[in-house]
Structure 1
Amino acid sequence: MSKYQDIANDIEKKIIEKKYINKLPEQVVLAQKYHTSRVTIIHALKILQDRKLIHAVKGHGTYISAKPIPKIFLNSGVAQNDGFTKHTHDSKKLVSKVISFNIRKPTDKEKEAFNLSENEDVYDIIRLRILNSEPIKLEYTVMPVNRIPGLNLDILHKSIYSYIENKLGIKIGKDDRLITADKPDAYDIKYLNCTSNDPILCVKQKAYFENGTPFELSESRNRYDRGGLTVKKG
């Protein structure tokens, strides 16, 4: 294995372990840390970009990515009823653990999806949902700060949607949803206690306010044996 592949694997390990949060050190700092050249670091970062773990924002540095946004969500309008509804759980037994909560600049795809300028900020949230002490799903969420002001850790441990409707007084509308089966990644294996062979139910969503303004891009990674989706007619 080449040196830059070893470096990429080590940086990925640190991302998973949350030793790097939100943003990676500058390339020159990484080169010093790994006792190598900047060219080798660039090759290592290219591997991580291909793995969808990082993205570069011109003039701001290299950021740790949330899950990638499917093309289907970039220019869609207000969604029609997609025929699916999520299972609900007893709120007393369902716990949210915040793994990561950062504010950063949007990627190009996020700017397009939300119609944001490069100077506006987004929340980048990773939460683990735990039911009866068992992890059931990992959620990656990106939301514009100016559309949902005041998010904090206390709200994230409860319900963002309840905060939007009850505290901000904004009605939530429909959503676009893409549901697929996927192989587990390193985060799934770590946080959902699954093996590399366990299937993952992946739900990617773009949610809108009642007036049609998009406010959320999210991906939930669900253990196949702990919850699911039901089909609703009509």
Structure 2
Amino acid sequence: MVKYQEIAKDLRRKILNKLYLPSEQLPQEKEMCLIYNVSRITIKKAVDELVTAGLVIKRRGAGTFVKSVNDATVQELSLVQQFTGFTEANQGKSIKSNIIRFEIVHPSADVADKLQIDIDSFIYDIIRARYADTEPFVVEYTQMPLDIIPGLKHDVLLDSIYHYIQSRLKLKIQSAHRAIRAMWPNEIEQEYLKVDTNFPVLEVEQVAYLDDGRAFEHSISRHRSDKIIFKTLSIRA
């Protein structure tokens, strides 16, 4: 194990053992250079490992902070390489989107809290059914702040929102916090997923973050349970 990986492992252990608390700032690079007796380049590579793992965020001009997530989520975060949108996750297939709802509204108090915005802000409120090779896979309920993701139009929703964010807006998607539950389908899902009331769906609630720490998406996705497998890689201290 090279030096920066040893440092990343030590910092990860301290975060998981609550030596650094959620929202707490890590020591500055200069201070960590003295603590670990290494160069700033080595510290930067170690911290970048934690950013990739979804444990910390970098805030420009402020420093590096531990993410504010609960104990279970911290220990079960997937690596960022496993974080993809529907289109990317189904490469090689013919992707189709059916726009059920596309409006600009004020967020509910709960959504505003998760997106870290004011309830007087404006968000996109989107419902889409997604298909791969004509087969229904998922109904997505998505909220995104207008000031972070400007310019969304119907043509983007029919394609890939994540591709638009990364290729057109030049923003970097960093991580996502998820909760997964088994649910019964509502009327929308019964219609668009072609299931009945006794067919369970897998619900994934997600808050996704850019590399500067801003929450850009709250979504609830209801997947056909026979069409989806979620794979995670847990991080051990």
Give the TM bin, normalised by the shorter chain.
Answer: 0.5 to 0.7
Residue 117 (structure 1) aligns with: 118
Structure 2 match to 1:22: none
CA distance in 1, matches of 2:221, 2:117: 23
Residues 137 and 223 in structure 1, CA contact (< 8 A), matched pair in contact too: yes
2:227 paired residue number: 226
CA distance in 2, matches of 1:113, 1:103: 18
State the 1:211 CA deviation.
1.1
CA displacement at 1:218 relative to structure 2: 0.3
> In percent, how many aligned pairs have the same letter?
35
Matched, 1:134 2:135: yes
Map of 2:162 onto structure 1: 161
Contact 2:115 2:215 in 1 (8 A): yes
Gaps of 5+ in 2: 1-66
| CA RMSD across the alignment | 2.1
Residue 68 (structure 2) aligns with: 77
Which residue of the partner structure matches residue 17 of structure 1? Answer: none
CA shift for structure 1 position 169: 1.2
SS of the residue corresponding to residue 218 of structure 2 reads strand
What's the offset of the Cα at 1:114? 2.1
Alpha-carbon distance between aligned partners in 1 of 2:78 and 2:171, rounded to the nearest angstrom: 24
Please report the TM-score for the alignment, with normalisation by the length of structure 1.
0.62
- The TM-score with structure 2 as length reference comes to 0.62
The code of the aligned residue for 2:77 comes to D
1:200 aligns with 2:195: no
The equivalent of 2:42 in structure 1 is none
Deviation, structure 1 residue 187: 1.6
* Partner Cα distance (1:154, 1:177) in 2: 27
Structure 1 residue 224: Cα displacement: 1.1
Unaligned runs of 5+ in 1: 1-75
Give, in whole Å, the separation in 2 of the partners of 1:83 and 1:179. 13
Match of 1:89 in 2: 90
SS of 1:217 mapped into structure 2: strand
- 2:107 corresponds to: 106
Tell me how far 1:191 sits from its aligned partner: 1.1
Aligned mates of 1:82, 1:162 — CA distance in 2? 23
Bigger radius of gyration, 1 or 2? 2
| Aligned partners of 1:222 and 1:228 also within 8 Å | no
The structure in which a higher percent of residues are helix is 2
